[in-house]
Amino acid sequence: MIKGFILDFDGVIIDTNNYHFLSWKKSLKDFDINFTESDYEEIKGLSRLLSVDYLSSVHKVIESNKQNLLKKKNDIYLKLIESVSSDDLMYGVKDFLITYGKSKLGVASSSKNAKYILKKIKCDHYFDVIVDANDIPESKPNPNVFLKCSELLGLKPFQCVVFEDSEKGLLASQKGGFISYLVGNKKISHLTNNYIDNLTLYK
């Protein structure tokens, strides 16, 4: 029996993917690197540190520049999200949270800014538990962020439905033994039998 729902943050609850893409693109431009949408798909769902490790291996960012790149990316991102509001919520999220408000609800994110943004847009009160990269250092596809979230909700993985939009997040939830749904990312819909365009289509 399903007793709880765990939502990824970026791309499932709120449309911050464009902010992440632009902040990576702007910060990497200083290193004469053309950051593409294909690059972004590869790091989607990863922590900042693993993202920069991947980009370093592909684009040969000099080791000594990694910390500088991380800081620059985060500074640009924080400036971009100053304007974020509840208008940036993904379609159907508010309705879903109201419909399933009596169930246990959690957020499991690789972002370090999930709690800050949820509070900023006045949506943090919908969730019983919010676990992000400040709590769990291992990034998706490691399932620990989901496992910690379900533990804090007082539920077993098989009692929870996870909603994800990235390949690494989907893999993490599957590894953890959760019922997994891919939301909105048709490019990788072939990876699962549970695909929905938005949360209103979950039944």
Point out the residues that are catalytic.
Answer: 8, 10
Q: At what angle do helices 48-59 and 17-29 cross, to 10 degrees?
A: 50
Instruction: Provide the residue type at 115 as one letter.
Output: K
- Cα-atom radius of gyration of the chain, to the nearest Å? 16
For the record, the structure tokens of 11 come out as 């791309």
Q: How far apart are CA 120 and CA 122, in angstroms?
A: 5
3-state secondary structure 126-151: HCCEEECCCCCCCCCCCCHHHHHHHH
Rounded Cα distance between 167 and 65, Å, is 28
Pairing of strands 129-131, 179-183: unpaired
Q: Which amino acid is at 125?
A: H
Please count the other Cβ atoms lying within 10 Å of the Cβ belonging to residue 21.
18
β pairing state of 129-131 and 104-108: parallel
* Spatial contact of 191 and 20, defined as CB atoms under 8 Å apart: no
Cα–Cα distance measured from residue 125 to residue 133, given in angstroms and rounded to the nearest whole number: 19
